[in-house]
C-alpha cells in the first residue's frame, strides 16, 4: 500500500513538469511567428551591402571596378588589384573614404641613381714674403685640378623628369693649390727687441729675435691653427697646435727652435682648444685642457680638465697626471674654461662664463674668487669668457666682468662691461674701469724696476655695441687711475678684438705693447707714444712675445 502511494506522488511531479515544458514551448513558437520581434529577431541578416563604381587612371591606363560604400581608396585599389608603390602619388588620398562613384588618379613615381665625375679646379694662394724685394714673384707649388664623383638621384612622375638631386660627393683626387710667393720687403728700420716674437703668417710659423729685421721660418707646412702657441721658459722649445683632417680637431707638437735641423715632434695629444702651456723649468712638462669633438656647433664639448704630461726631448711620454678632473660646471660648460699659469707655475688661474678663480697645481684644489654674471645675449654657438691677467706682483687677478661686480645683480645695459681686480689672499673684488667693452682683455705689465706697473686693455669705440664694435688701446695705473689712449693716435684706425702683449722687459723706458693691426704686428711705447709697424705681409693671425 505504501509503495503504491510513492509511485503516485512521483508520477504527479512528472506530470506537472511536462505541463510547464509544453507551456514554454508554446510561448517560444509564438515568438518565432512574430517575425522581427523577440529573441530570434536579432539574427536577421538585413539588406545586401551597397556597391559603388570606381575608376582608376594610372599611366594612361583606365581600370574600372566596384567597392563597398565606406571603403578607403587604399582598400579599393587593393580590391581591384591595382599595383601602387609607396612613393606613388594617389588622388584622392589613400585613406579617403569612398561615398560615391569615384575616379582615382595614380601618378607612378620612379627614382634612378647615376654617377658622374666632375673636375675640381685648383685655387691660387699668395704668400707675401718680407724677405723678398717688393714685386718679385716665385712659384712655390704648381696647381693641379682634382676630381670628384657625384651620385645624382633623378625622380620621374609618369616617366617625366621632375627633379634631380646630388646625394653624395666623393673626392677621388684632391686639388692641389697653386702657391705663389710675392716679395713685399719694406723699408722699416730694424728695432732692437728683447726675447723672441713668434708669429703665424699664412698658417706657418716664424721667429723674430734680436731685432725686427732678423726673421727665420720655423714651420712652413701651412697647417698651424693658432689655437696653442707657447715658448718654454728657457726659450728653446716651442709648443704649438696643427689642424688635422681626421676625426680630431687638432694636435699638439713641439719644436726645438735652437736646432735649425730639428723637425716638429708630435706629442700625441689631440683636441686642445683653450689651453696648453709649458711649465717653467728645464723639464719638458706640458699642462693642457681638452675637448670632445662633435658635429653640432661649436664643434666640440669642453672637458674643463687639466692634464700634465712630461716628455723626453724625443717626444717620449715619461709620465702623465690628472690635475683637474673633467666637469660640467655651469650653464656654458660646453664652451670651455680658459687657464693662465702664474710666473712660477705653481698656480693656475681660470675663467669661465660664470666665475674666475685659482687652482693649486700641486694639490688640484680649486678656489673660486669671484662670480661672473654670464652674458646671456650671444644667442649663438659661442659663450663669453671674461679676460684675465695675473697682476704684476702675481698676487691676484685683473679681469673683465659683466654688470655688477658681485656677479649676482642682472643687467640689461649692453654697455655694462667693466674691469676689476682681486687679490688671492683677500678675495674682495673691486671695479677699476667701467664700460670697457665685451672684449677688453686686460693685460698687466711686468713689474718695472721703479716699482710701477700698468694695465693695458681694449676699450670699445661704441660701448653699447661692443660685441661688434672696433676697439682702441688704453693703459692705466694698477688702481685704474690715469687712463690714457695709446693707439690709435690722431687719424689712425681702430683694432679688432684681440689679446695685446707686453714686451718681456722690466725697464720702463724700453717697454713696448704689441698688437695686430691690418694683418701686421705693431709696437707702441705707452710712455713716449712712439709706434712702429714691424711686419708688412698683412697675413699675421697670431703671435707671442716671450
Residue 99 sits at the vertex; the CA angle it makes with 96 and 101, to the nearest 5 degrees, is 100
Pairing of β 224-231 and β 237-243: antiparallel
**Long-range pairs of 121-125 with CB within 8 A, sequence gap ≥ 24:** 121/145, 121/175, 122/146, 122/175, 122/176, 122/177, 122/178, 123/175, 123/177, 123/178, 124/177, 124/178, 124/179, 124/180, 125/177, 125/178, 125/179, 125/180, 125/202
Residue 49 is predicted with a pLDDT of 67
**Strands in 232-387 per DSSP E:** 237-243, 250-256, 265-270, 276-278, 284-288, 291-293, 300-302, 306-311, 317-324, 338-341, 347-352, 355-360, 366-371
Sole residue written with cell 692705466: 476
Strand order in the sheet with 513-517: 501-502, 513-517, 520-524, 531-533
Whether the Cβ atoms of residue 184 and residue 137 lie closer than 8 Å to each other: no
What is the C-alpha to C-alpha distance for residues 538 and 531, in angstroms, rounded to an integer? 17
Whether the Cβ atoms of residue 142 and residue 91 lie closer than 8 Å to each other: no
Collapsing DSSP states into helix, strand and coil, what is residue 283?
Answer: coil
What is the C-alpha to C-alpha distance for residues 330 and 368, in angstroms, rounded to an integer? 13
Residue 17 is predicted with a pLDDT of 46
Residue 35 sits at the vertex; the CA angle it makes with 32 and 40, to the nearest 5 degrees, is 55
Residue 496 is predicted with a pLDDT of 94
Q: How many residues are present in the chain?
A: 546
Whether the Cβ atoms of residue 449 and residue 434 lie closer than 8 Å to each other: no
DSSP character at residue 190: P
Residue 322 is predicted with a pLDDT of 96
Burial class (CB in 10 A: 0-12, 13-18, 19+), 259: exposed
- pLDDT tens, per residue, the chain with 546 residues: 333 343 334 344 444 544 454 444 444 443 434 444 333 333 334 445 688 899 999 988 898 999 888 899 999 899 888 999 989 999 999 999 988 888 999 999 999 999 999 988 888 877 766 666 666 676 778 888 999 999 999 999 988 999 999 999 899 998 888 877 777 665 667 889 999 999 999 899 999 999 998 889 999 988 999 999 999 999 999 999 999 877 899 999 999 999 989 999 999 999 999 999 999 998 999 999 999 999 888 999 999 999 999 999 999 999 999 999 999 877 799 999 999 999 999 999 999 999 999 999 999 999 999 999 998 775 678 999 999 999 999 999 999 999 999 988 888 888 999 999 999 999 899 999 999 999 999 999 999 999 999 999 999 999 999 899 999 999 999 999 999 999 997 667 899 999 999 999 999 888 999 999 999 999 999 988 888 899 988 899 999 999
Which residues, 6+ apart, have CB-to-CB distance to 333 below 8 Å? Answer: 302, 304, 327, 352
Whether the Cβ atoms of residue 545 and residue 503 lie closer than 8 Å to each other: yes
Q: Cis (ω within 30 of 0) for the bond into 92?
A: yes
Collapsing DSSP states into helix, strand and coil, what is residue 513?
Answer: strand
DSSP character at residue 464: G
Sole residue written with cell 506530470: 15
Whether the Cβ atoms of residue 207 and residue 196 lie closer than 8 Å to each other: yes
Which among 399, 507, 527, 390 is positioned nearest to 451, based on CA atoms?
Answer: 507
Pairing of β 237-243 and β 250-256: antiparallel
Residue 478 is predicted with a pLDDT of 95
Q: How many CB atoms lie within 10 A of CB 492?
A: 11
Per the structure block, which three cell numbers stand in for 507?
725697464
Residue 11 is predicted with a pLDDT of 44
Whether the Cβ atoms of residue 345 and residue 279 lie closer than 8 Å to each other: yes
Whether the Cβ atoms of residue 461 and residue 472 lie closer than 8 Å to each other: yes
- Its sign, for the CA torsion 161, 165, 167, 172, is positive
pTM, rounded to two decimals: 0.69
- DSSP for 15-71, please give it: HHHHHHHHHHHHHHHHHHHTSSSSSGGGG---SPPPEEEEEEEETTEEEEEEEETT-
Which among 57, 58, 56, 80 is positioned nearest to 67, based on CA atoms?
Answer: 80
What is the C-alpha to C-alpha distance for residues 330 and 79, in angstroms, rounded to an integer? 62
Which residues, 6+ apart, have CB-to-CB distance to 149 below 8 Å? Answer: 115, 116, 117, 169, 170, 172
What is the C-alpha to C-alpha distance for residues 184 and 170, in angstroms, rounded to an integer? 39
Q: Cis (ω within 30 of 0) for the bond into 488?
A: yes
CA 150 to chain centre: 28
Amino acid at each position: 500500500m505504501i509503495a503504491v502511494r510513492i509511485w503516485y506522488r512521483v508520477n504527479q511531479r512528472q506530470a506537472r513538469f511536462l505541463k510547464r515544458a509544453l507551456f514554454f514551448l508554446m510561448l517560444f513558437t509564438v515568438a518565432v511567428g512574430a517575425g522581427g520581434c523577440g529573441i530570434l529577431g536579432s539574427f536577421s541578416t538585413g539588406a545586401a551591402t551597397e556597391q559603388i563604381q570606381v575608376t582608376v587612371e594610372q599611366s594612361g591606363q583606365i581600370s574600372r571596378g566596384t567597392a563597398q560604400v565606406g571603403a578607403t581608396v587604399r582598400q579599393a585599389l587593393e580590391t581591384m588589384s591595382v599595383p601602387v608603390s609607396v612613393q606613388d602619388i594617389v588622388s584622392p588620398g589613400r585613406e579617403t573614404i569612398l561615398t560615391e562613384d569615384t575616379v582615382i588618379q595614380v601618378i607612378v613615381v620612379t627614382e634612378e641613381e647615376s654617377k658622374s665625375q666632375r673636375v675640381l679646379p685648383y685655387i691660387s694662394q699668395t704668400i707675401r714674403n718680407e724677405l723678398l724685394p717688393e714685386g718679385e714673384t716665385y712659384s712655390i707649388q704648381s696647381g693641379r685640378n682634382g676630381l670628384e664623383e657625384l651620385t645624382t638621384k633623378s625622380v620621374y612622375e609618369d616617366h617625366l623628369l621632375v627633379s634631380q638631386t646630388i646625394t653624395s660627393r666623393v673626392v677621388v683626387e684632391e686639388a692641389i693649390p697653386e702657391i705663389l710667393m710675392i716679395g713685399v720687403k719694406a723699408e722699416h728700420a730694424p728695432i732692437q727687441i728683447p726675447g723672441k716674437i713668434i708669429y703665424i703668417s699664412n698658417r706657418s710659423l716664424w721667429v723674430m729675435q734680436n731685432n725686427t729685421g732678423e726673421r727665420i721660418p720655423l714651420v712652413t707646412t701651412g697647417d698651424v691653427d693658432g689655437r696653442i702657441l707657447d715658448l718654454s721658459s728657457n726659450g728653446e722649445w716651442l709648443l704649438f697646435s696643427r689642424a688635422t683632417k681626421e676625426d680630431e680637431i687638432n694636435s699638439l707638437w713641439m719644436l726645438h727652435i735652437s736646432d735649425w735641423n730639428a723637425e716638429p715632434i708630435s706629442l700625441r695629444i689631440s683636441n686642445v682648444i683653450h689651453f696648453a702651456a709649458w711649465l717653467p723649468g728645464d723639464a719638458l712638462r706640458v699642462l693642457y685642457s681638452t675637448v670632445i669633438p662633435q658635429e653640432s656647433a661649436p664643434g666640440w664639448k669642453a672637458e674643463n680638465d687639466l692634464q700634465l704630461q712630461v716628455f723626453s726631448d724625443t717626444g717620449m711620454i715619461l709620465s702623465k697626471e690628472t690635475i683637474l678632473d673633467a666637469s660640467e660646471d655651469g650653464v656654458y660648460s660646453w664652451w670651455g674654461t680658459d687657464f693662465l699659469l702664474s710666473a712660477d707655475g705653481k698656480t693656475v688661474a681660470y675663467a669661465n662664463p660664470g666665475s674666475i678663480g685659482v687652482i693649486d697645481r700641486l694639490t688640484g684644489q680649486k678656489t673660486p674668487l669671484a662670480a661672473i654674471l654670464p652674458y646671456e645675449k650671444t644667442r649663438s654657438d659661442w659663450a663669453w669668457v671674461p679676460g684675465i691677467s695675473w697682476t704684476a706682483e702675481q698676487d691676484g687677478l685683473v679681469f673683465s666682468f659683466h654688470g655688477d661686480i658681485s656677479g649676482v645683480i642682472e643687467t640689461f645695459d649692453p654697455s655694462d662691461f667693466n674691469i676689476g681686480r682681486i687679490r688671492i689672499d683677500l678675495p674682495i673684488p673691486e671695479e677699476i674701469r667701467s664700460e670697457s667693452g665685451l672684449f677688453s682683455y686686460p693685460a698687466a705689465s711686468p713689474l718695472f724696476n721703479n716699482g710701477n706697473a700698468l694695465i693695458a686693455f681694449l676699450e670699445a669705440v661704441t660701448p653699447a655695441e661692443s660685441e661688434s664694435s672696433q676697439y682702441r688701446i688704453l693703459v692705466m695705473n694698477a688702481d685704474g687711475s690715469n687712463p690714457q689712449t695709446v693707439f690709435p693716435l690722431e687719424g689712425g684706425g681702430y683694432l679688432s678684438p684681440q689679446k695685446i702683449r707686453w714686451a718681456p722687459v722690466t725697464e720702463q723706458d724700453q717697454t713696448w705693447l704689441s698688437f695686430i693691426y691690418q694683418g701686421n704686428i705693431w709696437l707702441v711705447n705707452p710712455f713716449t707714444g712712439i709706434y712702429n709697424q714691424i711686419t708688412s705681409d698683412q697675413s699675421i693671425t697670431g703671435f707671442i712675445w716671450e
